[in-house]
């Protein structure tokens, strides 16, 4: 009898040890929702045509939240559609970041409000004698009638549409299904400044999903807002990199991973994971580009293949792991997205989705980019480049920490 009890305890202890050794490898499929149709979109005509269609077809309620909403040609078109929607009875809620959308004219804002649009600037830089410089709304979200949504890294500005030059390279996803209820509640929480409310997703009766099957797209919403205790996107990235077995593809427009992220990538490379990173050659923030270049030696040491896109600006943020898992949204792999910004990503488990999207990324890498190798990097990398890139890296990392110190939990009046 005692021997039988001992064996039971031994087996139980063994199972506990196995679980904790491999707990990160267990796919948390229960956090995903089935029965949602998902399609990826690129910047330029594909995204904006769909945006116009979503706004035009909205019937009851429309949420838009953007970091950049410029008062330019494309911005004027979008504003006209929003005002038309408000006049036909649609409740239109618009939240833009006060810093990122500083170019939106105050007169344009008044016209939108006069047309019946509920308009709000997130975290004005100066209000009640306080300066808010750290916490920024980095969302790029549109939700119509709680049923159709656009989520990604594409802002409302001419440079994303490509009127007079090539559009910035960026991506978004179009989602149709009940996950949009979750996105709508996130938008409402930001609009109403009710950060303490819990989001309960209205769930339809559906069979339990324990495995990833062909043709069944599984989707979940991930958020990052450090000051509100939300670190879902960062955790998703780290878990995906830790458990990667075959491949990792990173689209990194402002790619400045911290020490922990670099350790995870280093370990993945050591266990034979093929890692590819798509970077930009032309950046709207040159110092950030130089800070990224400082990490080129780390990438080369770890046999990570990386590419600089030619003759245009890359602004996309996406990751693909093992040809089955994808995340697309506003989150960059850097300290600003981890600690300072309010971010939103969509995680997708679907092999067919990944196959189509990764094929597009590989086309960009092979035909529209230049691969950086040890040979061509050393030929053009002089000592003063090394010093300036090191200096840029230190300044960018320090700036993120300073901004985080200025960020604080703000009450309803301050935000």
What is the DSSP-derived secondary structure letter of residue 198? P
**240 or 14: whose pLDDT is higher?**
240
- Residue 1 falls inside a structural domain: no
User: Looking at the domain assignment, is residue 284 inside a domain?
Assistant: yes
**Given pLDDT bands bounded at 50, 70 and 90, which one contains residue 5?**
low
Q: Does some domain include residue 228? A: yes
242-245 long-range CB contacts below 8 Å, 24 or more apart?
242/24, 242/267, 242/268, 243/24, 243/25, 243/321, 244/268, 244/273, 244/321, 244/322, 245/273, 245/322
Number of domains in the chain: 2
H helices of 271-350, in order, are: 286-293, 296-301, 335
The Cα–Cα gap between 32 and 213 comes to 13
Same domain, 189 and 86: yes
Question: Given a cut of 80, is residue 134 above it in pLDDT?
Answer: no
Question: Both 269 and 379 in a single domain?
Answer: yes
Same structural domain for residues 180 and 95? Answer: yes
Count of residues in the chain: 415
Query: How far, in whole angstroms, is CA 131 from its chain's centroid?
Result: 26
Tell me the CA end-to-end span of the chain in Å, nearest whole number.
66
Chain mean pLDDT for the chain: 85
Unique residue bearing structure tokens 């170019």: 103
CB contact at 8 A, 123 and 131: no
Same domain, 403 and 339: yes
Q: What is the pLDDT of residue 212?
A: 43
Is residue 297 one of the residues assigned to a domain? Answer: yes
* Cα angle for residues 382, 384, 390 (degrees, 5° grid): 105
d(CA 214, CA 176): 19
CA-CA distance, 232 to 344, in Å (whole number)? 9
Domain residues for the domain of 79 are: 36-194
Could you tell me the pTM of the whole model? 0.85
Query: Is 391 in the same domain as 262?
Result: yes
For 206-222, give the DSSP string: -----S--TT--EEEEE
Q: What is the pLDDT of residues 216-236, one digit of tens each?
A: 689 999 999 988 889 999 999
Picking from 176, 194, 212, the residue at the C-terminal end of a domain is 194
Interval 339-354 mean pLDDT: 94
Band (pLDDT 50/70/90 cuts) for residue 1 is low
Domain membership of residue 177 (yes or no) is yes
CA atoms of 252 and 206, how far apart (whole Å): 36
Residues 107, 265: Cα–Cα separation, whole Å: 48
Q: pLDDT by residue (tens digit) across 84-127? A: 999 999 999 999 999 999 999 999 999 999 999 999 999 776 55
Q: For residue 351, what is the domain's CATH number? A: 3.30.870.10
258 and 394 fall within a common domain = yes
Q: Are strands 274-282 and 230-231 parallel, antiparallel or unpaired?
A: unpaired
CA dist 313 and 281 (Å) reads 7
Q: What is the pLDDT of residues 244-290, one digit of tens each?
A: 999 999 999 999 999 999 999 999 999 999 999 999 998 888 899 99
Is residue 136 one of the residues assigned to a domain? Answer: yes
- 302 CB-contact burial (10 Å; exposed 0-12 / middle 13-18 / buried 19+): middle
Tell me the backbone φ, ψ of residue 382, rounded to 5 degrees: -85, 170
Ranking 61-75, 291-305, 387-401 by mean pLDDT, the lowest is: 387-401
Contacts with 170 (C-beta within 8 Å, 6 or more apart), sequence order: 42, 43, 47, 152, 153, 154, 160, 253, 314, 315, 316
**322 and 229, same structural domain?**
yes
For residue 220, give both structure tokens.
Answer: 């979940």
Structure tokens at 9: 């305890």
Identify whether residues 149 and 265 lie together within a single domain.
Answer: no
Q: In this structure, are 277 and 164 located in the same domain? A: no
Point out the domain boundary residue: 152, 176, 194: 194
355 and 276 in a common domain: yes
pLDDT of 292-343, one tens digit each?
A: 999 999 999 999 999 999 988 999 999 999 999 999 999 999 999 998 999 9
Boundary of a domain, candidates 194, 229, 250: 194
Distance CA 358, CA 354 (A): 6
Residue 133, judged by CB atoms within 10 A of its CB (0-12, 13-18, 19+), counts as middle
Question: Are 249 and 167 found together in one domain?
Answer: no
8 Å CB contact between 36 and 175: yes
Is 187 a member of any domain?
yes
Shared domain for 377 and 281, answered yes or no, is: yes
- 252 close to 333: Cβ distance less than 8 angstroms: yes
Report yes or no on 23 lying in a domain.
Answer: no
């Amino acid at each position: 009898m005692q021997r039988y009890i001992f064996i039971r305890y031994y087996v139980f202890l063994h199972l506990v040890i196995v679980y904790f050794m491999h707990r990160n490898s267990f796919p948390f499929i229960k956090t995903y929702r089935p029965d949602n149709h998902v399609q990826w979109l690129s910047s330029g005509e594909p995204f904006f045509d769909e945006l116009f269609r979503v706004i035009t077809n909205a019937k009851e309620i429309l949420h838009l939240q953007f970091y950049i909403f410029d008062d330019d040609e494309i911005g004027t078109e979008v504003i006209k559609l929003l005002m038309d929607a408000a006049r036909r009875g649609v409740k239109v809620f618009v939240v833009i970041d006060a810093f990122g959308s500083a170019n939106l004219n105050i007169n344009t804002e008044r016209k939108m409000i006069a047309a019946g649009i509920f308009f709000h600037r997130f975290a004005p830089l100066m209000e009640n004698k306080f300066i808010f410089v750290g916490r920024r709304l980095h969302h790029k979200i549109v939700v119509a009638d709680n049923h159709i949504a656009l989520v990604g890294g594409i802002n409302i500005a001419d440079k994303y549409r490509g009127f007079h030059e090539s559009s910035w390279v960026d991506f978004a996803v179009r989602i149709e299904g009940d996950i949009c209820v979750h996105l709508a509640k996130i938008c409402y929480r930001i609009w109403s400044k009710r950060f303490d409310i819990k989001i309960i997703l209205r769930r339809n009766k559906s069979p339990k999903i324990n495995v990833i099957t062909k043709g069944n797209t599984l989707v979940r919403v991930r958020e990052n807002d450090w000051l509100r205790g939300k670190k879902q996107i960062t955790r998703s990235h780290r878990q995906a990199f830790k458990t990667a077995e075959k491949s990792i593809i990173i689209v990194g427009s402002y790619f400045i991973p911290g020490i922990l992220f670099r350790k995870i990538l280093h370990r993945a490379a050591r266990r034979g994971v093929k890692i590819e990173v798509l970077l930009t050659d032309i950046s709207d923030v040159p110092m950030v580009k130089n800070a990224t270049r400082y990490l080129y030696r780390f990438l080369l040491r770890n046999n990570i293949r990386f590419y600089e896109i030619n003759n245009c600006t890359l602004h996309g943020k996406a990751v693909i792991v093992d040809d089955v898992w994808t995340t697309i949204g506003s989150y960059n792999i850097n300290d600003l997205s981890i600690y300072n910004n309010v971010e939103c990503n969509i995680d997708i488990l679907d092999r067919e989705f990944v196959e189509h999207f990764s094929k597009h990324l590989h086309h960009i890498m092979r035909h529209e980019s230049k691969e950086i190798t040890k040979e061509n990097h050393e030929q053009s990398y002089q000592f003063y480049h090394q010093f300036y890139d090191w200096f840029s890296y230190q300044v960018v990392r320090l700036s993120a920490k300073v901004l985080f110190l200025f960020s604080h939990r703000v009450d309803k009046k301050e935000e």
